[in-house]
């Protein structure tokens, strides 16, 4: 059994996603980082970086004392090696996964953390910092807002379950992210105008109509990617984002 020291944040979700995907049995030990539980000496003995996630594996390979691991990247690598899942055994596949794992934990993760800090917790708004760290996280925030909307959609039939399906896949020089709901779909007359600034189907005061147009600009102009939509009225809507693995014409001053 694995004890997962967890709180409901993206770094925590990385590990629950792995555990769910592989079906490893685990038990959640909540560490409320809003009340300072990460500084509890018992937790620091497991995670000296005073951050979730951390795990204790009571069934480590070869037996012996329970094994504790902190840092999400180290935990994912440990679990991948333990299960033989999600990390190909051949050299090329293994390095492909490891380099993206390192990119996530050393590149994207800290940027997202700074974004969160400057957009939510900084004592005063600093436009330069907010702009610098937002970028792709803004697209994610728009999707999260849309998800919340799907959840509270009053137009659904009683008992109708909102489902959001996210799939990712590598396409050689690009990565593809698809997000599909089982909502009411987008009528054809709205589809062409979806990415236009200030276009919204929401009631006055409920939306600015900027979320998708900003996401469109970030994906296409800043990342050289594409974003498209497929929808069947009354059945589903699916957004497909494709991002090149390498930035074309990126300005180095903007990198993390
Ligand atoms: N590099 C760490 C970052 C973990 C991290 O930042 N965890 C946050 C929650 S998402 C935390 O526990 N913060 C508590 C604190 O900063 O005191 C990892 O990848 O595991």
Which part of the chain has CATH 3.40.30.10? 2-83
Ligand 1 pocket, mutate which of 6, 30, 36, 51 (most atoms under 8 A from CB): 51
CB under 6 Å to ligand 1: residues?
9, 11, 33, 38, 50-53, 71-73, 105, 109, 113
**Where residue 204 falls among pLDDT bands split at 50, 70, 90?**
low
Q: What pTM, to 2 d.p., does this model score?
A: 0.62
How far is the centre of ligand 1, averaged over its atoms, from the C-alpha of 82 (Å)? 23
**Where residue 253 falls among pLDDT bands split at 50, 70, 90?**
very low
Atom 15 in ligand 1: which residue has the minimum CA distance? 51
Q: Where are the alpha helices (DSSP H) in 117-236?
A: 127-152, 188-191, 211-217
pLDDT digits (tens, 9 = 90+) for 166-186: 888 888 889 999 989 888 888
Number of helices followed by number of strands (H, E) in the chain: 8, 8
- Long-range Cβ contacts of 238-242 (<8 Å, 24+ apart): 238/178, 238/179, 238/180, 238/181, 239/143, 239/178, 239/179, 239/180, 240/176, 240/177, 240/178, 241/139, 241/176, 241/177, 241/178, 241/179, 242/171, 242/174, 242/175, 242/176, 242/177
40-54, 69-83, 160-174, 194-208: the lowest-pLDDT one = 194-208
Atom 8 in ligand 1: which residue has the minimum CA distance? 51
Return the CATH fold of 2-83. Glutaredoxin (3.40.30)
- Residue 181's pLDDT is 87
Nearest to residue 179, comparing CAs of 152, 213, 145?
A: 145
Ligand 1 atom with the shortest distance to the CA of 10: 10
Which part of the chain has CATH 3.30.565.10? 139-254
pLDDT digits (tens, 9 = 90+) for 99-114: 989 988 998 888 888 8
- Residue 73's pLDDT is 97
- Mean pLDDT, range 30-55, rounded to an integer: 97
- Residue 211's pLDDT is 72
pLDDT digits (tens, 9 = 90+) for 115-165: 888 878 899 988 888 878 776 566 666 667 766 766 666 555 656 777 888
| Residue 91, φ and ψ in degrees, nearest 5 | -55, -50
Return the CATH fold of 139-254. Heat Shock Protein 90 (3.30.565)
């Amino acid at each position: 059994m694995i004890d997962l020291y967890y709180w409901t944040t993206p770094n925590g979700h990385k590990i629950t996603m792995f555990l769910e995907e592989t079906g490893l049995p685990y038990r959640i030990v909540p560490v409320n980082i809003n009340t300072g539980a990460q500084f509890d000496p018992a937790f620091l003995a497991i995670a000296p970086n005073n951050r979730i996630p951390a795990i204790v594996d009571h069934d480590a390979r070869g037996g012996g004392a329970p094994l504790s691991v902190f840092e999400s990247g180290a935990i994912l690598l440990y679990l991948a090696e333990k299960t033989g899942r999600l990390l190909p055994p051949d050299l090329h596949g293994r390095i492909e996964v490891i380099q993206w794992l390192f990119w996530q934990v050393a590149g994207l993760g800290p940027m997202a953390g700074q974004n969160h800090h400057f957009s939510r917790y900084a004592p005063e708004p600093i436009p330069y910092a907010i702009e610098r760290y937002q970028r792709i996280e803004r697209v994610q925030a728009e999707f999260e807002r849309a998800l919340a909307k799907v959840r509270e959609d009053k137009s659904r039939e009683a008992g109708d379950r909102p489902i959001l399906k996210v799939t990712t896949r590598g396409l050689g020089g690009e990565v593809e992210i698809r997000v599909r709901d089982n909502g009411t779909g987008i009528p054809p007359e709205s589809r062409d105008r979806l990415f236009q600034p200030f276009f919204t189907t929401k009631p006055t005061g409920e939306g600015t109509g900027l979320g998708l147009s900003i996401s469109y600009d970030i994906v296409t102009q800043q990342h050289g990617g594409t974003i498209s939509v497929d929808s069947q009225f009354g059945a589903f809507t699916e957004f497909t984002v494709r991002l090149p693995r390498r930035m074309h014409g990126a300005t180095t001053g903007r990198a993390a």
